[in-house]
Amino acid sequence: MATAAISANSNNSTTVRPLSGAPRALRLWFALESKIAPASAERRAARMFVTPPAHRRRTYAKSARARLAEHARSFDMIVRDGSRRISVSTMGDGPAVMLLHGWGGSAVDMMPLGGAFARAGFRSVLFDMPGHGRSSGRESSLVEFMYAMRVVANALGTPELLVGHSFGGAAAVFGVTEVGLPVRGAVLLSPAPGPAYYVDRFARALGLSRERAEGMMRRVVQRVGRPVESLDAIVAARRADVPALIVHDPKDREVPWRFASAMADAWRSSRLVAAASVGHKRILRDPATIAAAVSFASSL
């Protein structure tokens, strides 16, 4: 693993962190419900843990479709049994690059990168993960992200490169190591390590006791279908066998730099780049980061 640096002129991200401070009324509700109906409190907390922020979907519905329609070919992919819909967009022609947005995001977040890859001779494949954007469902998880990656790859062809942001960065790791997509490389932008790292923070934000937090996680496992510890992207990165470029702002307020550093240490053939002063979300629009990603793809 090597470390480099790129510079940018944009300011730190001001993106609101999920449950950075739960409303007092919500904490009071959980305090009361935990005493009167502890099982109900655990179920409610588990449902919240696997539900992306609803306000992002409302914002997406107002503006995103118009933006995608202007710059990309968009369509809805219906899964074979008809039970799910995945909203997909493509930009350009050439070797496929699969772009994976983060938790609470959408394909629109990846449009600056998608456009750059398209102009460089690639075919950008962007899609809303289950429970996000225009795709069906309200709940989601890293397991659902991997499911969507399989469906899209089977329908549109195997990508040569995975590009993931935040939680999508964790999904990209599993795309290489578990989904088994035969890609030539991966780009991870502000990669999140996986859901297990956020359990304590989430439980504290809701004011859950240790007992209720443990009950919440038992119910999360039931909803997701596997232990969250098995979805540790840093551990999974040890099995990665393709080159990777990891770009992260050392002062990222949402996903700390230490996670990118640990990811780079685990991923043997990776290069870690420090992108100063771009924050967690602006990294997706940062010209230097975009150029580094396209250059990396072109060198494979």
Q: Give the per-residue pLDDT at 171.
A: 98
Radius of gyration of the chain (CA): 19
Mean pLDDT computed over every residue of the chain: 88
Structure tokens at 119: 């102009």
Which residue, 69, 73, 68, is CA-closest to 156? 73
pLDDT value of position 143: 96
State the pLDDT at residue 73: 76
Superfamily of domain 2-15+65-194+232-299: Alpha/Beta hydrolase fold, catalytic domain (3.40.50.1820)
pLDDT value for 75: 73
CA distance 217 to 195: 11
pTM over 0.75: yes
Instruction: List, in sequence order, the alpha helices (H) in the chain.
Output: 24-36, 38-49, 54-71, 111-119, 142-156, 167-177, 199-206, 210-224, 233-236, 257-266, 287-299
Cβ neighbourhood burial of 23 (10 Å; 0-12, 13-18, 19+): exposed
- So where are the chain's domains? 2-15+65-194+232-299, 19-52+196-230
pLDDT at 22: 58
- Smallest CA-to-CA distance from 284 within 3, 4, 8, 5 is with 8
Q: What is the pLDDT of residue 280?
A: 95
What is the arrangement of strands in the sheet containing 96-100, beginning at the earlier edge strand? 2-6, 270-275, 244-248, 185-189, 161-165, 96-100, 123-127, 85-91, 73-78
Whether 50 contacts 139, CB under 8 Å? yes
The pLDDT assigned to 161 comes to: 98
Q: What is the DSSP string of 275-293?
A: ETT--SSGGGT-HHHHHHH
Contact 189, 99 (CB under 8 A): no
Which residues in the chain show pLDDT less than 70?
A: 1-22, 54-72, 80-81
For residue 58, what pLDDT is reported? 53
Reported as a single tens digit per residue, the pLDDT across 77-97 is: 777 667 789 999 999 999 999
Task: Give the per-residue pLDDT at 78.
Answer: 77
Q: H or E stretch including 85?
A: strand 85-91
